[in-house]
Amino acid sequence: MSDLPRKAVTRTAKLATLPLSFAGRATWGLGKRIGGRSAELVGNELQQRTAEQLFSVLGQLKGGAMKLGQALSVFESALPETVAGPYRAALTKLQEAAPPMPAATVRAALDERLGEGWRELFLEFDEKPAAAASIGQVHRAVWHDGREVAVKIQYPGAGEALLADLTQLGRFARVLGPLIPGMDIKPLIEELRERAAEELDYGLEAESQQICAEAFRDDPDVAVPAVIRQQKEVLVSEWLPGVPLSEVIAGGSQEERDLAGQLLTRFLFAGPARTGLLHADAHPGNFRIVPADHGGTGRVRLGVLDFGAVNRLPGGLPPVIGRTLRMTLDGRAEEVYAHLTAEGFVKPSAELEPQAVLEWLLPFVEPASVPEFAFSRQWLREQAGRLADPRSPAQQLGRRMNLPPSYLLIHRVTLSTLGVLCQLGARVRVRDELLRGLPGFAGDGETVAVEAEGPGA
Indicate which residues carry an active-site annotation.
281
CB 139 within 8 A of CB 151: yes
Strand partners, 314: none
Among 177, 191, 290, CA closest to 243 = 290
CB atoms within 10 A of CB 204: 16
DSSP-based three-state secondary structure for 330: coil
- Taking the C-alpha atoms of residue 148 and residue 362, their distance in angstroms, rounded to an integer, is 47
The residues with which 290 forms a beta bridge, in sequence order, are 301
Angle between helices 254-275 and 408-424 (to 10 degrees): 160
Sign of the torsion angle spanned by Cα atoms 91, 93, 99, 103: positive
DSSP per residue over 155-216, as a string?
A: PTTHHHHHHHHHHHHHHTHHHHGGGSTT--HHHHHHHHHHTHHHHH-HHHHHHHHHHHHHHT
Query: In this structure, is the dihedral angle defined by the CA atoms of residues 302, 306, 310 and 315, taken in order, positive or negative?
Result: positive
Rounded to 5 degrees, what angle do the CA atoms 429, 309, 114 make?
130
Which residues pair with residue 244 across a beta bridge? 288
CA atoms within 13 A on the CB side of 134: 31
Helix (H), strand (E) at residue 322:
helix 319-329
CA atoms within 13 A on the CB side of 44: 11
